[in-house]
Amino acid sequence: MNAPLPAPFASLSPAPVWAHFALLCRTPRPSKHEGPLREQLQAWAQARGLDTHVDAAGNLIVRKPASSGREHEPVTALQGHLDMVCQKNTGSAHDFSRDPIQPVLGADGWLRATDTTLGADNGLGVALILAMLEDPTLSHGPLEALFTVDEEAGMGGAHGLEPGLLKAQRMINLDTEAWGEFYLGFAGGIDVDVRRPGCAEAAPAGHTGRRIALRGLRGGHSGVDIHEERGNAIQLLVRVLHDLAPRAGLRLAALQGGTARNALPREAFAHVSLSPEAAAALPQALALWQGLLRHELAGVDEGLSLSCDDAPVDEVLPTDEQAVWLDSLLASPHGVHRMSRRVPGVVETSNNLGIIDLNPAGGHVNFMVRSLLDSGTQALARQIRSLWALSGSTVTLSGAYPGWTPDPASPLLALCQRVFQRTFGEASSVQVIHAGLECGLIGGKYPGLDIVSFGPTIQGAHAPGEGVDVASVDRTWRLLCAVLAEPA
């Protein structure tokens, strides 16, 4: 990691942080496939004489001794997750299992990936921690670095973290996305997974096949961006199909959309069978729907497009199964369910209709429910389960994680606010967010752990075009160093 920095990182400061982030960009790290990166980081730490441990869940813990004279101070944990959300634009040949991320530095001071996600979430948090572990000149008490796995696909690493493994009394999570804000609470969540077996039948004689594509939506983070009412490709395409099925005699063969449970679906595709007359009229019908949906999404997602092309269709869903899927998907909630009355301006409960994969052999749909109230999470998840249970679908609730209850009296928060004011000459703010972090799960396994979260400014997480404000990374590094230099 000491080699000269490649473009576009060569001019960026602090160089150690960007050197580590460059390595992360070169190393594939989808959720559940972080092993090669973890092994590389473990070997790197051991080569520097640092103690390491990998727990049964696959989390990596690295311990760094205190600076001279600070050995008896409380242990501080620094925490981030190794995996990233892997999203790309249609037409991109990028393979997240092998290809490096290709960041581009803009004249506006933002580092972005154009056709893919950047992995700034949470690669920059990891890079900040690695730079802290590497530098022997920094002043700090005893440190424990906790690099979790599988955060983006269900927080599997935090769920499986072994109790009693950490010795820390306080923890700094580096997985938030707005500089100048300290995060002290967030929503909990649960996955609702629906499955139905299939029973294919032959496409009607004389019908022709078409592939309908809905593209051009912004997508985004289902926790951070849900309140903006951006378009959901699955939900919108279902509206189109539900309308065309009775009017055009449309028969559904397949429906796919979304690739991540916690990302707003940007694209969705349907394979359908129609009579030659209905197929000839389909482009005009889609053009009308495109205009309607663009009008509804004015100022939010005006780039939406609807198109169709020829595609062979041999089998379709039976009409009763088609009705179950389209009716149930149309009735399923997506978006903000309730705003918080306790924390003004913050979403309390929401649901993301995140993934659909349906064909004549069967189908699967995933919903991710979030709420600041654990009872709210359960209530909305059970509402969705009840809806799909009416059709005899198999519905599983899994991966529940608790919310992180704010502690305004946190000594670590007071220290962070004091250091921020002194270092940057301005006041910070305290936030409670709707997006999920691992703090609640970790805090549940380590009662009494004092936790605060902060980080650089990231936009567009979980969608292609994700970017980070380069200047905010430097400020985050300075803040982290200053907080750890403060005697506990």
Other beta carbons within 10 angstroms of residue 409's beta carbon come to 8
- How far is the CA of 101 from the CAs of 32, 174, 219, 464, in angstroms? 18, 21, 19, 11
Residue 85 and residue 87: Cα distance in Å, rounded? Answer: 6
**What does the pLDDT read at residue 402?**
87
**What does the pLDDT read at residue 2?**
56
**What does the pLDDT read at residue 1?**
47
Catalytic residue among 134, 144, 151, 438: 151
Q: Where in the chain is the domain with CATH 3.40.630.10?
A: 15-187+403-485
Catalytic residue among 34, 83, 225, 466: 83
Find out whether 131 and 17 touch, Cβ atoms under 8 Å.
yes
Apex 367 CA angle, 366 and 370, nearest 5: 150
Residue 90 and residue 227: Cα distance in Å, rounded? Answer: 25
Our answer to whether residue 321 is catalytic in this structure is: no
Find out whether 126 and 20 touch, Cβ atoms under 8 Å.
yes
> Residue 21's closest CA among 456, 452, 462?
456
Residue 94 and residue 315: Cα distance in Å, rounded? Answer: 31
**What does the pLDDT read at residue 488?**
80
pLDDT mean by block of 10 residues, the chain; 488 residues? 75 96 96 97 98 98 97 97 93 95 96 95 97 97 98 92 96 96 92 96 96 96 92 98 96 96 95 97 98 97 96 96 98 95 88 97 97 94 98 96 88 97 96 87 93 96 94 98 95
pTM exceeds cut of 0.85: no
Our answer to whether residue 315 is catalytic in this structure is: no
**What does the pLDDT read at residue 3?**
62
Q: Where in the chain is the domain with CATH 3.30.70.360?
A: 190-401
Neighbouring residues of 32: CB distance < 8 A, sequence distance ≥ 6: 83, 149, 150, 153, 156
Check if CATH label 2.30.29.30 holds for domain 15-187+403-485.
no
**What does the pLDDT read at residue 225?**
92
Cis peptide upstream of residue 122 (ω within 30 degrees of 0): yes
Tell me the β-bridge partners of 62.
52, 145
Other beta carbons within 10 angstroms of residue 95's beta carbon come to 10
Find out whether 188 and 417 touch, Cβ atoms under 8 Å.
no
Find out whether 51 and 62 touch, Cβ atoms under 8 Å.
yes
**What does the pLDDT read at residue 224?**
87
**What does the pLDDT read at residue 179?**
97
Check if CATH label 3.40.91.10 holds for domain 190-401.
no
Residue 146 and residue 437: Cα distance in Å, rounded? Answer: 14
